[in-house]
Structure 1
Amino acid sequence: MTFAWIVDGDGGRKVALDAAAAANGSADFVWFHLDGRQHESLEWLAARGGIPEIARGALIAEETRPRSEPMGEGALINLRALGKTPEDDPDALVSIRIWAQRGSVISVCFRTPSAIDTVCEAVARGVVRDPGDLISEIATAISRELDPQVAELGDTLDDCETALEAQGVYKMRRMIARARAKAIAYRRFLVPQRQALERLSALDADWLEEQDRMHLREAADRCARMAEELEAVRERAALMHEELTDLRAELMDSRALMISIVALVFLPLTFITGLLGMNVKGIPFAEAPWAFWGVVGVCLAIGVAISAWFAARHWLGR
């Protein structure tokens, strides 16, 4: 998904890269968005002048983390956002690489962030007028989309805590493990993203207005709050995992105890029936017509006596 926007007195217009490059300098603001998976986009970026080599390499780097670095008259910014196709993304959050300077912004993505559509709508409405507006709009859209996702993780743990008995131990362990893994993946990028936004809001750049800095600080505060909530989710998930492990151990102990009790009840009965079932001469009452029911009665009496003894010692209720 490669496109460009020209912003001038008539508002925002979506155009091709070449048209936007021709208007750069005459328009109020130009935004180039490049799809890093397209070879033509990378060639266009390589031929683009005015970008430091360090920033150019960072824009096409495979592995990134949230950061903001001033470089000459511009700034290199890396942010992380929810992906539009999470099933195709290796990371929970996809990277948005940005080179910003007065009058133009170049953004590069190797996956499609869902926040890009929201930002394009804001540009089309004329909300974005300069690079500071664009970056603050991107940061705000990212935090606005992440907020309910983080809250959903907390709700998931709440549901797990209230529905533990109904769901069962094994299914609940999988739900908690998924929530904890997602919280760890989100927190991995949200903590440095908060630091990057705070550093960007304090950047000494004339294309950042006070309102832009205020929006960036607000987005950084949201990231800080979400990071704290993710840390709480992770700790709660760890505690619930330990509780489930203890519950599972107790459940296995109770079942093992029940099996042992049943085995102890039937152990003397098996000995009696095995002894009387031997195919040898001399078994008492072998010809008596009441012998079978007599043995059954003795076995029942022994079974009831052993069960009563277990009940008296409160073993059956454990």
Structure 2
Amino acid sequence: MTDNHSQIPPQRPDFIIDSWDFSVVPAQPVHQNYHQRQQSWFHFQRDLPGLSDWLLAAGIPEPLIDAVLEEDTRPRFERVSAGFLLILRGVNLGLGEQPEDMVSLRILFYNGNLYSFRKRPVNAVRALQKKLELGEGPESIADFLVHLVDEANNQLEQLLDTIELEMEELEDDSKGTTAQRQRQLTVLHRRLLRLTRFVRPQIAALDKLAVDGPKLFEAEWVQWLLNERDNTQRELENMDMLLEQVWMLREHLQQEVAEKMNRNTYWLSMVAGVFLPISFLTGLFGINIGGMPGVDDAAAFWIFSGALLIIAVIEFLLLRRLRFW
């Protein structure tokens, strides 16, 4: 009598988020016999226990395991004997997250299989998972890599479109005070710097992958990868242009502030210049000592006030003639 329990496939480990077999078209999900496969993709949650032992059992060398599980990484490419290690970054579109705080995706191609590792969800991978579930996704490991870079570029392009709209708002002099716009501009500048910090080395990593690509994949795939690399370069150039706009707008706002201060200082100086002789005369005639003229004359105050008015008018006309404004 056959034991029914033997027909139940073993439960998938918690650290395996998803797995697909690309040796058939369309790709099919993998639920068992993980270590006896070729041309398959495995997606892992890298901070769960047991993953390191599983990778060792799959025949992956310990130095590569340490490389894909280390905490802090930057985009890079490294050729290994039986494949390559590729580390990419994607924009963080998670709920409540900062998009420019780019999430890391570690990719290891080894002995014909592709292994990807994440700590936080990567939207580009999630988009590919949905396509695979619908039977519309990539058809091979190489095709998967091209689609992955393409999805990452799409996410980055959407973010840059949003930043461009924010930039247009800041360039409108009627929107907010100068101080408010300067604060918003500082935040925008910081976001762009964080993006370029990871996108620039990512282009270098894709360049190296394209150079080694013909040793592992078909020439057509390498051309598609080069196209995606060019798209990444274009997004970087857009970021550089936005950074230039940020500097130009910052200089414009600083010039506005300087002009306002100069104008206010100028008018204060004009007012002080007009009232300086008047203040001197009022101070002089305000001293309470004997011998002051007009003390016993009832009309002296009005005569003195008229003289001050005449002096003010003469100063005004003189400054106007000398084109002080």
The correspondence for 1:7, drawn from 21, 37, 40, is 21
Change (3 A) 1:153 1:101: same
Q: Is the 8 Å Cα contact of residues 60 and 110 (structure 2) preserved in structure 1?
A: no
Q: Is the 8 Å Cα contact of residues 82 and 145 (structure 1) preserved in structure 2?
A: yes
| 1:208 aligned counterpart, secondary structure | coil
Change (3 A) 1:143 1:253: same
Aligned-partner residue type, residue 181 of structure 2: M
Tell me whether 1:29 sits opposite 2:40 in the alignment: yes
| 1:199 aligned counterpart, secondary structure | helix
* TM-align CA RMSD: 3.1
Aligned-partner residue type, residue 18 of structure 2: A
Q: Is the 8 Å Cα contact of residues 21 and 28 (structure 2) preserved in structure 1?
A: yes
The correspondence for 1:238, drawn from 224, 247, 265, is 247
Q: Is the 8 Å Cα contact of residues 100 and 131 (structure 1) preserved in structure 2?
A: no
Aligned-partner residue type, residue 43 of structure 2: F
Between the aligned partners of 1:142 and 1:136, the Cα distance in structure 2 is: 10
Change (3 A) 1:178 1:314: farther
Between the aligned partners of 1:51 and 1:240, the Cα distance in structure 2 is: 52
Between the aligned partners of 2:49 and 2:164, the Cα distance in structure 1 is: 43
| 2:20 aligned counterpart, secondary structure | strand
The alpha-carbon deviation at position 57 of structure 1 amounts to 1.9
1:145 alignment partner in structure 2: 155
Change (3 A) 1:90 1:151: closer
Change (3 A) 1:45 1:125: same
- Report Cα offsets for 1:67-113 as digits up to 9, x if no partner: 22221222111111001348656963221111123553222223332
**What does 1:93-172 correspond to in 2, within 5 Å?**
93-101=102-110, 103-126=112-135, 127-161=137-171, 163-164=172-173, 167-172=176-181
In structure 2, stretches of 5+ residues that fail to align are: 1-14
TM-score (ref. length: structure 1): 0.82
Between the aligned partners of 1:24 and 1:11, the Cα distance in structure 2 is: 21
- Report Cα offsets for 1:101-158 as digits up to 9, x if no partner: 3553222223332323212212212313332232222111100010132344444444
The alpha-carbon deviation at position 214 of structure 1 amounts to 3.7
Between the aligned partners of 2:114 and 2:289, the Cα distance in structure 1 is: 100
Change (3 A) 1:26 1:55: closer
Between the aligned partners of 1:188 and 1:121, the Cα distance in structure 2 is: 30
Percent identical residues: 23
1:77 alignment partner in structure 2: 86
Between the aligned partners of 2:69 and 2:303, the Cα distance in structure 1 is: 89
Between the aligned partners of 2:58 and 2:308, the Cα distance in structure 1 is: 97
TM-score (ref. length: structure 2): 0.80
Q: Is the 8 Å Cα contact of residues 91 and 100 (structure 2) preserved in structure 1?
A: no
Q: Is the 8 Å Cα contact of residues 11 and 124 (structure 1) preserved in structure 2?
A: no
Between the aligned partners of 1:265 and 1:274, the Cα distance in structure 2 is: 15
Change (3 A) 1:227 1:30: closer
